[in-house]
């Protein structure tokens, strides 16, 4: 059972800036100036890039004014240290559109966690290039949009334009590809840069592209895994959010690897989506800082 502290509303502050002396003191001094209560804090300094990252959670009840005034008070500090920053109220959840194809293990897990409140987000709906998972989606009370994706270039372009329209119409902030077996067009990748999440069924950078379990079988690996990452134009090469592995051996054929890998995929995707929704992921270049 969650403690009273765990369920009290909080503001989430995240920031990135050039590393230098005085950042932590300036940020915490501001909070202390109005007797604000920081209930969770994490920071990281990256020596290779000279960047500093911070995430704080501040009890809403300890702030004697609204979030807009808090932003105004923080702005001079952000300017002083050349920060890229965000202050968010989780009481307004992320708006998420889920994409899937025929396989149901990842989408079913996300829908269940959304319905039970384990993952807190506003579900805009589900987009799929097949109609197979309509009944599953509608069982959870979510809108289902069947958008077939033809093989020809003109048909693909029209299909992705329709998917983009659905996301815009629903005001989706984040797209989650829950085993959506299509390569996303560059324009959509750019539009949702840092806001489109994919699950790939291998331990990247090994075995990119199609049929990674078959590639793993041919290579004779003893570990297979899954990778949750942000989508970029380069296939399966975006910044990694979460990964995990499971052991296999010489007796496991590709079908058994697929079966064993499904559990890893759904758990890794859930962990990656949760970290994104809770503003625990900070991207820089093609890497991420993920605060636990």
Which residues does residue 286 pair with via DSSP β-bridges, in sequence order? none
Look up 89 and say whether it is catalytic.
no
- Count Cα neighbours of 288 within 13 Å in the Cβ-side half-sphere: 22
**Quick one: which of 108, 116, 150 has its CA closest to 130?**
150
**Quick one: which of 164, 160, 90, 161 has its CA closest to 122?**
90
CB-based contact 177:101 (threshold 8 Å): no
H or E element at residue 138: helix 134-139
Instruction: Give the angle 151-154-156 at the CA atoms, nearest 5°.
Output: 50
Q: Which residue has the tokens 């599953």?
A: 136
Residues 6+ apart with CB under 8 A from 198: 177, 180, 228, 229, 230, 231, 236, 238
* 11 φ/ψ sector (left φ>0, alpha ψ -120 to 50, else beta): beta
The dihedrals phi and psi of 259, each to the nearest 5 degrees, come to: -60, -45
SS3 81: coil
**Quick one: which of 130, 126, 132 has its CA closest to 114?**
126
Catalytic entry in 35, 236, 253, 263? 236
Q: Which residues are catalytic?
A: 236
């Amino acid at each position: 059972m969650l403690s009273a502290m765990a369920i009290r509303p909080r503001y989430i502050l995240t920031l990135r800036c050039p590393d230098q002396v005085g950042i932590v003191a300036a940020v915490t001094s501001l909070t202390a100036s109005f007797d604000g209560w920081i209930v969770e804090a994490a920071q990281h300094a990256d020596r290779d890039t000279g960047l500093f990252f911070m995430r704080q959670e501040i009890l809403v009840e300890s702030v004697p004014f609204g979030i807009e005034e808090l932003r105004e008070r923080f702005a001079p500090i952000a300017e002083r240290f050349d920060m890229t920053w965000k202050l968010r109220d989780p009481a307004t959840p992320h708006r998420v559109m889920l994409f899937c194809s025929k396989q149901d293990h990842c989408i079913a897990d996300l829908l269940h966690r959304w319905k039970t409140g384990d993952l807190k987000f506003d579900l805009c709906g589900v987009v799929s290039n097949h109609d197979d998972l309509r009944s599953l989606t509608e069982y959870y009370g979510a809108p289902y949009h069947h958008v077939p994706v033809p093989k020809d270039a003109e048909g693909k372009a029209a299909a992705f334009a329709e998917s983009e329209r659905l996301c815009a119409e629903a005001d989706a902030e984040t797209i989650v590809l829950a085993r959506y077996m299509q390569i996303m067009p560059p324009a959509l990748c750019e539009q949702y840069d840092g806001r489109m999440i994919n699950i790939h069924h291998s331990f990247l950078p090994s075995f990119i592209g199609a049929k990674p379990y078959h590639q793993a079988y041919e290579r004779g690996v003893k570990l297979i895994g899954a990778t949750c990452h942000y989508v970029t134009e380069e296939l399966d090469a975006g910044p990694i959010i979460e990964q995990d592995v499971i052991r296999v051996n010489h007796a496991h054929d590709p079908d058994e690897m697929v079966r064993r890998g499904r559990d890893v995929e759904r758990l890794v995707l859930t962990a990656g989506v949760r970290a994104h929704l809770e503003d625990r992921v900070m991207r820089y270049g093609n890497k991420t800082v993920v605060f636990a």
